[in-house]
Amino acid sequence: MGFTNGEKKGKKTHIKKSTLTPHWDEIFAFPVTNPYTEQLSIEVYDHDTLGKDDAMGGVKIPLTGLVMGVEKVDWYALSSQGQIQVGLTAVAFDSSGLHPQQIHEVISNNVVDSTQVAVFQPPTRWEIKDPQKFHSTNKHDNKSGWIQLFFDKPYYIGGEVINGRVDLFLNHEVPAKKVMIKWKGEEKSYIENTWNDSDGHPHTDVYKDNKTFFDSSLVLFAVPEGHAILPPGPHTWTFSFSLPPNLPSIFFEKYIEFDGDKIKAAIAYKVKVFVDMPGSDIKAKEKLIISELLTQRVLPVAETKVKSFAFAKGKLKFSGEVGKNVFVPGEVIPLKVKVVNPTSKNVDNIKVKLVRKLTIKAKHFTKLAVKEIARWKFPGVTKKSDFEGTIQVQLPEKIYPSSNGDLVKCHYILEIECDLPWAFDAVIKPKVVIALLPAPGQGMWFLQDMAALGGWNSF
């Protein structure tokens, strides 16, 4: 096992003899520079004492979505056969000279220091089982039978390969030509711009735009000519699809009004599988969750900005620091705040706001919609006194991810301010990124809302 960029030295587990379901209990540590560009590569071999080891398959595991000190355990489908269970933990410590057992103790005791290291730590056991079990979606029924889509991961990043499976069960034989799967990724924008002419008469101009990232199809099974019949019973096909690189994150904003204009926008990725047959096809549609490849340095990224405001006596100095710039919905953000207030004015409150800046482009028209998503208030600082400490804010669970499409761009900033009476507030505005990294089986609340847009949801 090792890193896909080839710059890190690989490591091997011990050999487990005479078993088809090997269990390991071994700990490995790897330093990580950027979890959004590096992946952990694992290859599994059937050991041959006399000859060459036979490859059973491999998997490349993204390091995104790790929460500091919290083990993330997932099943991963090997490229050839079977599954492997792996535990990953991100730990903050100085890695020099540490034995794996010491790393285990660091994980157990949640020791935090300044240097960020991603740790590859197995859970109490690893095992390989059920060669074709993938992440499952809902089953779609028809009078003739049912069809179901399976994916190997809960989310993907542009450039990755999607591996999956289609299960079809027929209650009786059906006349059919083929079984086909389609993939589509696109972004769409819509703006209703209302304005008044020189006589004060209102007018509304409508702007629509769309861009397709990919649109392709694959025939999973073609019924031989002259024998256009699919027999009853179970049928299974596996598939792979390579995503284009640099895809923006999935996004959705339903029909809202802003500054007199009405807007809606979506970035969606969809998969459709169907049996081509007379009458009503047996089909299933599912949405793919795509998370943007983040190129920012994430572990750690700290920003400090200082604003000084002159008063009759003295200057108020205010600084804030965010330990990193990438977060997931629901995550708690610790903010280090320092206020030096030698003035004769009180700071009434320290306020924190999460602000979303949504830019929608349709044809030649662009609309910027700025919206406050959440607000928090903390005690202020009295005159001629100082404050230095950490305040915590928790992001909402229901929040759209940051995204950088061509037509739709969603960015976030944290506004941290000292509320000053009868004066301009001291404000710092660090930029943050909201990443959508769901766990297996975790539903995305806004995917259901996307269906309400009718044609926006169709192929």
- pLDDT at residue 120, as a whole number: 32
Question: What are 193's two structure tokens?
Answer: 């711009």
Q: What does the pLDDT look like over 35-86, one tens digit per residue? A: 656 778 888 887 776 667 777 778 878 776 666 556 777 777 775 567 788 8
Question: Is 154 in the same domain as 28?
Answer: no
Q: Are 434 and 401 in contact (CB under 8 A)?
A: yes
- pLDDT at residue 368, as a whole number: 93
Give the mean pLDDT of 241-256. Answer: 89
Q: Does residue 451 form part of some domain?
A: no
Token look-up 């690189």 returns: 245
- Write the CATH number for 418: 2.60.40.640
Question: Is 80 in the same domain as 143?
Answer: no
Phi-psi region of 226 (alpha: psi -120 to 50; beta: other; left: phi over 0): left
- pLDDT at residue 197, as a whole number: 85
CA 8 – CA 176 distance, rounded (Å): 51
Q: Is it the case that residue 223 has pLDDT exceeding 80?
A: no
Q: Is it the case that residue 168 has pLDDT exceeding 50?
A: yes
Q: Does residue 204 form part of some domain?
A: no
Q: What does the pLDDT look like over 4-22, one tens digit per residue? A: 544 456 788 877 776 767 7
- pLDDT at residue 115, as a whole number: 31
Question: Is 151 in the same domain as 284?
Answer: yes
Question: Is 314 in the same domain as 364?
Answer: yes
Question: Is 150 in the same domain as 277?
Answer: yes
Q: How confident is the model at residue 313 (pLDDT cuts 50, 70, 90)?
A: low
Question: Is 177 in the same domain as 98?
Answer: no
Question: What are 319's two structure tokens?
Answer: 């600084």
Question: Is 268 in the same domain as 140?
Answer: yes
Domain count, the chain: 3
Q: Does residue 255 form part of some domain?
A: no
Q: Does residue 201 form part of some domain?
A: no
3-state secondary structure of 419: strand
Q: Does residue 92 form part of some domain?
A: yes
Q: Is it the case that residue 207 has pLDDT exceeding 80?
A: yes
- Side chain identity at residue 353, one-letter code: K
Question: Is 391 in the same domain as 327?
Answer: yes
Q: Does residue 126 form part of some domain?
A: no
Q: Does residue 127 form part of some domain?
A: no
Question: Is 158 in the same domain as 282?
Answer: yes
- Write the CATH number for 79: 2.60.40
Domain residues for the domain of 86 are: 2-120
Q: What does the pLDDT look like over 325-373, one tens digit per residue? A: 888 888 999 998 888 888 888 888 999 999 999 999 999 999 999 999 9
Looking at residue 100, the DSSP 8-state letter turns out to be H
- pLDDT at residue 116, as a whole number: 32
Q: What does the pLDDT look like over 115-160, one tens digit per residue? A: 333 333 333 333 333 433 445 555 666 778 889 898 988 889 999 9
Q: CA quadruple 100, 102, 103, 105: dihedral positive or negative? A: positive
Q: Does residue 459 form part of some domain?
A: no
Pairing of strands 156-157, 290-291: parallel
Mean pLDDT estimate for the chain: 77
> Which uninterrupted H or E stretch holds 446?
helix 445-450
Question: Is 144 in the same domain as 217?
Answer: yes
Question: Is 141 in the same domain as 289?
Answer: yes
- pLDDT at residue 36, as a whole number: 56
Question: Is 161 in the same domain as 44?
Answer: no
CA 43 – CA 17 distance, rounded (Å): 17
Q: How confident is the model at residue 32 (pLDDT cuts 50, 70, 90)?
A: confident
